[in-house]
Amino acid sequence: MKLIKVSVFVLLLSSITFSTVFAEEDTDRVIIEEVEDRVVSNYLEDQEIALTYIDEHLRDSYETMYIDWDENNENKLVFLFRDPVDTAHQEAIRALVEEPSAIVFDEVLYTKEELIAKQKEIEAGGLEYDNFTINYLSSNVMNGTVNVGIVPYSEENAQILYQAYGNDMIVVEQGDEFTTMEMGIMARTSDQDAVEEIKEEEEEELNFFQRLFRAIRSWFPW
């Protein structure tokens, strides 16, 4: 009978110990999640504040933004402009946000207009070659490149395009075997002025929550 009592006591003690451990782990998890949520919230708010200021004062020079990480794995909000940003504007933006050290200002290698012009130049030169086909074109403002996907890819085929269009602005890579050529070209040969006008109209109609959603998506430059 004593053995049974002792066994029951040990089981109860073990249960209490495990429950305590799990409770501590749950508490730690909740604390970590709360901290992560607060950090994300701060970055979203800082991004929204910075974009609002830029829209009011630096719209003509602004190109795009993205999120980056430094050598200490600290998040950085990088805002790209076609011209250097005046120190007064930089200080004004940093004074408005929660994490001023996370705000970075940089210049693009090439503007959106320059990249689009190069993209159209490549399209005008034709998409069908003797040994390969261009089936993907994309302007990347962040990297300052026009990515050209070809099928099949080889160094010899890539060199044909580099010789024709230079290697300063373009990066030739493996194209998507499953890309539908007609759909891709239609999307890329639309009138650029009309596209920009539509974007401006849509921008004016964005409410606060829509702009937050756009901000989250802009962290990932896919």
Tokens read off for 92: 């004004």
**pLDDT at 218 > cutoff 60:** no
pTM confidence score: 0.61
Give the whole-angstrom CA distance, residue 44 versus residue 169. Answer: 32
Confidence of residue 103 (pLDDT cuts 50, 70, 90): very high
More confident residue, 90 or 43: 90
End-to-end CA distance of the chain: 69
Give the whole-angstrom CA distance, residue 67 versus residue 43. Answer: 10
1-107 — its CATH code?
3.30.300
Q: pLDDT of 155-213, one tens digit each?
A: 999 999 999 999 999 999 999 865 434 334 333 444 444 445 444 544 554 454 455 55
Q: What does the domain layout of the chain look like in residue ranges?
A: 1-107, 112-189
**Would you state the pLDDT for residue 94?**
96
Confidence of residue 137 (pLDDT cuts 50, 70, 90): very high
